[in-house]
């Protein structure tokens, strides 16, 4: 079966997608934020793997350089498959384009062009100018899906926010007395911990801090990575005393200066409804947070959605019926059906006894309002 390069429609080796999937698997297993997840594979002229590597984070060598080093002399005349366009500028490490040219590679296969303005096509141009064959945009969608926060951060200047809520099948996230642990089963909660593991920061509002005394850490036996940065959004009411989270050095955004707790950093950002979430987004982006999980209650989730900051919404529905009204998933008035925001359902999965639904707000104007 023939395969054409997405970049220039030339016929290329039909194995390119499989090679790229191997590099994507290397990248997906890493968490080098604020740097991008990058996987690289060196292939001999027959297309067999010689070496593979991923980037471990700031200050460490890039994936292409590690893979070239591991390949040694076999790098000469090889094909290098890399999920992200090689960098062409001097950062904390020298440009990967120089390493690839110096190694004498014959061909470079690139998953996605780097949206960072310091690269943005110049890496590919330098390789081509040096006489190296480049095939680009190979399964680009899968490459971006393995590190959506990086691409989102570089394109929009803010982190990618995922709103997560867990509810009974009839949409209640807590009972009237504030109890919500545990609405979902262990399988769903373990899945939710995977969302935390992928995140650079986990955010809750003060309501959740008061009610649940959460730790916001990843509690999975298999997890050995960096714990996400805890973040709290507080309003006018005072911070609660003695929360376990204070030992995890949270960043606390408040509408006005307030007395903190030892280890907590207070950042003032006043806005409508309490804290200005757009300012929070900017500050988190400046701190190198690319992927942020909003793991609080309905008040904060509603503010993120209304502020146009919800990039993905993950809803877990436990196999329970509240049969009554406690706390709904989102707050505020719902006067008429035309006010409902249209979403795109991305995925529906059954997790043990429960259901997980992933949805994205629709941003095209025709999607505003309810469907007939
Ligand atoms: N099932 C679930 O998925 C889940 C998850 C988390 C929590 N919960 C439950 O949710 C309940 C708490 O609900 P909640 O709505 O109070 O929690 P929340 O959304 O986590 O916190 C809301 C609070 O955040 C502060 N805030 C400051 N600026 C804000 C802004 N711009 N937008 C929104 N909030 C801002 C306000 O604090 P001030 O009060 O200081 O003004 C506000 O009251 C508890 O019963 C908890 O168990 C359930």
Domain ranges of the chain: 3-148, 157-367
262-295 residue pLDDT tens: 889 999 999 988 999 999 999 999 999 999 999 9
296 lines ligand 1 (CB under 6 A): yes
d(CA 59, CA 76) in angstroms, rounded, equals 26
Same-fold call for 3-148 versus 157-367: no
For 338, list phi and psi in degrees, rounded to 5.
-60, -20
Q: Which of 11, 64, 241, 347 is catalytic?
A: 64
Grade residue 363 by pLDDT with cuts at 50, 70 and 90. Answer: low
d(CA 64, CA 110) in angstroms, rounded, equals 11
pLDDT at 5: 77
Q: How far is the CA of 339 from the centre of ligand 1 (A)?
A: 23
Which residues on adjacent β-strands are paired with residue 164?
314
165 lines ligand 1 (CB under 6 A): yes
d(CA 191, CA 194) in angstroms, rounded, equals 5
Q: How far is the CA of 302 from the centre of ligand 1 (A)?
A: 10
d(CA 50, CA 237) in angstroms, rounded, equals 60
Given ligand 1 and candidates 167, 297, 330, which is best to mutate, with the most ligand atoms within 8 Å of its CB? 297
Distance of CA 351 to the CA centre of its chain: 21
Average pLDDT on 365-370 reads 40
pLDDT at 31: 95
Query: How many of the other CB atoms lie within 10 Å of CB of 112?
Result: 25
* Residue 333 predicted with pLDDT over 70: yes
Q: How far is the CA of 32 from the centre of ligand 1 (A)?
A: 30
What one-character-per-residue DSSP string does 104-128 give?
A: T-SEEEEEE---STTTTTHHHHHHH
Q: How much of the chain, in percent, has pLDDT values that exceed 90?
A: 85
Distances (CA, A) of 176 to 168, 173, 183, 325, 330: 13, 10, 14, 8, 15
Average pLDDT on 168-187 reads 94
d(CA 55, CA 63) in angstroms, rounded, equals 5
Contact 124, 85 (CB under 8 A): yes
Range 157-367: architecture per CATH:
3-Layer(aba) Sandwich (3.40)
Grade residue 368 by pLDDT with cuts at 50, 70 and 90. Answer: very low
Q: How far is the CA of 119 from the centre of ligand 1 (A)?
A: 40
Candidates 240, 272, 3; CA nearest to 139 is: 3
Specify the DSSP element, H or E, that contains 155: helix 148-156
Which residues on adjacent β-strands are paired with residue 356?
316, 349
Contact 253, 231 (CB under 8 A): yes
Residue 226: which residues within 8 A CB-CB, separation 6 or more?
Answer: 31
Average pLDDT on 21-30 reads 96
140 lines ligand 1 (CB under 6 A): no
Q: Hey, which CATH number is domain 3-148, 3.40.140.10, 3.40.630.10, 3.40.50.620, 2.130.10.10?
A: 3.40.140.10
With 0-12 CB in 10 A as exposed, 13-18 as middle and 19+ as buried, what is 181? Answer: exposed
120-173 residue pLDDT tens: 899 999 999 999 999 999 999 999 999 999 999 999 999 999 999 999 999 999
Residue nearest to atom 46 of ligand 1 (CA): 208
Annotated catalytic residue 265: no
DSSP label of 37: P
Specify the DSSP element, H or E, that contains 210: helix 206-212
Query: Looking at ligand 1, which atom is closest to the CA of residue 212?
Result: 47
71 lines ligand 1 (CB under 6 A): no
d(CA 293, CA 272) in angstroms, rounded, equals 21
d(CA 55, CA 52) in angstroms, rounded, equals 11
* Residue 367 predicted with pLDDT over 50: no
Query: Looking at ligand 1, which atom is closest to the CA of residue 166?
Result: 3
178 lines ligand 1 (CB under 6 A): yes
Query: Looking at ligand 1, which atom is closest to the CA of residue 276?
Result: 31
d(CA 233, CA 247) in angstroms, rounded, equals 17
For 218, list phi and psi in degrees, rounded to 5.
-90, 120
pTM tops 0.85, yes or no: yes
234 lines ligand 1 (CB under 6 A): yes
């Amino acid at each position: 079966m023939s395969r054409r390069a997405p970049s220039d429609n030339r016929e290329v080796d039909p194995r390119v997608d499989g090679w790229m999937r191997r590099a994507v698997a290397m990248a997906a297993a890493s968490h080098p934020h604020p740097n991008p997840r990058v996987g690289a594979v060196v292939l001999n002229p027959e297309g067999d793997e010689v070496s593979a590597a991923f980037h471990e984070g700031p200050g460490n060598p890039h994936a292409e350089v590690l893979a070239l080093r591991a390949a040694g002399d076999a790098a000469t005349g090889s094909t290098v498959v890399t999920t992200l366009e090689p960098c062409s500028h001097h950062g904390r490490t020298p440009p990967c384009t120089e390493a690839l040219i110096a190694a004498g590679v014959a061909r470079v296969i690139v998953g996605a062009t780097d949206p960072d303005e310091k690269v943005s096509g110049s890496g590919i141009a330098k390789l081509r100018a040096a006489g190296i064959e480049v095939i680009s945009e190979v399964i680009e969608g899968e490459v971006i899906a393995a590190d959506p926060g990086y691409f989102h951060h570089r394109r929009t200047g803010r982190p990618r926010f995922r709103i997560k809520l867990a509810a009974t099948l009839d949409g209640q996230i807590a009972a009237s007395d504030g109890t919500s642990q545990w609405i979902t089963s262990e399988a769903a909660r373990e899945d939710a911990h995977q969302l935390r593991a992928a995140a650079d920061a986990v955010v809750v509002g003060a309501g959740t801090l008061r009610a649940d005394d959460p730790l916001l850490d990843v509690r999975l036996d298999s997890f050995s990575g960096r714990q996400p940065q805890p973040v709290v959004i507080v309003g006018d009411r005072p911070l609660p005393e003695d929360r376990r989270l204070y030992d995890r050095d949270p960043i606390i955004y408040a509408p006005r200066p307030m007395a903190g707790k030892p280890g907590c950093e207070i950042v003032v950002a006043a806005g409508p409804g309490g804290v200005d979430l757009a300012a929070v987004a900017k500050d988190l982006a400046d701190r190198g947070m690319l992927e942020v999980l909003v793991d609080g209650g309905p008040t904060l989730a509603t503010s993120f959605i209304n502020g146009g900051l919800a990039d993905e919404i993950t809803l877990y529905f436990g196999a329970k019926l509240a049969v009554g009204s406690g706390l709904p998933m989102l707050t505020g008035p719902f006067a008429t059906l035309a006010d409902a925001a249209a979403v795109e359902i991305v995925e529906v999965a059954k997790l043990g006894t429960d259901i997980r639904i992933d949805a994205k707000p629709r941003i095209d104007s025709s999607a505003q309002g309810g469907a007939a």
